[in-house]
């Protein structure tokens, strides 16, 4: 039986514990509402298409290890059999490890097994990211790095206002009055140069970026990469995106713009 706590040291659920927990819950909820309403934005991305998997799409972080396993093993084994076996082992741990001692020296097998399992999970999780064993054609990777199919990327981060209208050819080393856009152009040129050096099938490449005003408050961003194949054939890659002035990608982790709720200025 439990030892009886003296009356002067007892903490009753009602009202003490309940008031403490309710206060914490109210404060935490208020903080989350304020952060969500004023500091966090979730801009709309591309319309979901079940017939097309965006490049470098990853599973939720807690399934990275499983996605990494799928890259190195048979899909049936890695996606069905191994997770099933691990789930059964997880449920069976209390029956397999029946050592009552809490001392580390008495539980070396369990500790070593846990450390090894943790390391394996970390390695597999890294293998589940786009940085391991997943790479498209050089032209695809260059554009994906700057303006990914899903997510923000550097171009969306600089925002609608930092995309000056014009045609920019990497062969001419274009420079504009906008420093942030110049950084995008530099990264575009650097990406092309990198793959030109590392991929022998990517010969004499150059890129063209076209920014046009498609509609009021809507810009069209067209990427074009040209190169020669090893057979001497001219190859071309084209990809087009649209960016709206109100998409607010560039405010995802900043204070939201509430200027639209202000009354119009009197003329």
Taking the chain (267 residues) in runs of 10, the rounded mean pLDDT of each run is 72 86 97 84 71 81 91 90 91 82 83 91 91 86 92 88 96 94 96 95 97 95 97 95 83 57 59
Q: Does 155 lie in the same domain as 71?
A: no
Q: Does 113 lie in the same domain as 208?
A: no
Q: Backbone phi, then psi, for 209, in 5-degree steps?
A: -115, 125
45-57 residues labelled b (16+ CB within 10 A) or e (exposed): eeeeeeeeeebbe
Boundaries of domain holding 23: 11-38
How far, in Å, are 35, 104, 168, 191 from residue 206 at the CA level?
Answer: 44, 61, 11, 10
153 in any annotated domain: yes
The per-residue pLDDT for 10 is 78
Q: How many domains is the chain partitioned into structurally?
A: 3
DSSP letter (8 states) at residue 15: I
Quote the pTM value. Answer: 0.67
The per-residue pLDDT for 252 is 54
Residue entry with tokens 């054609």 = 137
Q: Does 241 lie in the same domain as 185?
A: yes
**Distance between CA atoms of 22 and 28, rounded to whole angstroms?**
10
256 in any annotated domain: no
183 in any annotated domain: yes
149 in any annotated domain: yes
132 in any annotated domain: no
263 in any annotated domain: no
Q: Does 206 lie in the same domain as 172?
A: yes
96 in any annotated domain: yes
The per-residue pLDDT for 94 is 79
70 in any annotated domain: yes
């Amino acid at each position: 039986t439990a030892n009886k706590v003296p009356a002067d040291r007892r903490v009753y659920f009602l009202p003490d514990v309940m008031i403490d927990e309710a206060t914490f819950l109210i404060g935490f909820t208020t903080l989350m509402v304020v952060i969500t309403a004023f500091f966090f934005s979730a801009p709309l991305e591309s319309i979901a298409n079940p017939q097309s998997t965006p490049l470098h799409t990853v599973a939720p972080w807690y399934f990275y290890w499983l996605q990494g396993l799928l890259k190195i093993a048979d899909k049936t084994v890695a996606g069905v059999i191994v997770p099933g076996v691990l789930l059964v082992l997880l449920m069976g741990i209390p029956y397999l490890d029946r050592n009552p001692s809490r001392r580390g020296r008495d539980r070396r097998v369990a500790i070593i097994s846990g450390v090894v399992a943790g390391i394996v999970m970390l390695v597999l999780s890294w293998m589940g990211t786009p940085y391991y064993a997943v790479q498209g054609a050089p032209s695809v990777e260059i554009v994906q790095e700057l303006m990914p199919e899903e997510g923000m990327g550097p171009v969306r981060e600089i925002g609608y206002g930092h995309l000056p209208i014009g045609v920019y050819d990497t062969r001419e080393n274009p420079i504009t009055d906008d420093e942030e856009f110049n950084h995008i152009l530099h990264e575009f040129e650097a990406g092309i140069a990198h793959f030109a050096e590392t991929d022998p099938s990517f010969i004499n490449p150059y890129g063209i970026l076209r920014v046009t005003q498609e509609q009021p408050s809507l810009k069209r961003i067209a990427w074009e990469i040209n190169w020669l194949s090893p057979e001497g054939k001219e190859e071309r890659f084209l990809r087009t995106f649209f960016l709206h002035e109100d998409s607010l990608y560039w405010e995802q982790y900043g204070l939201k713009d509430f200027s639209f709720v202000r009354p119009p200025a009197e003329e």
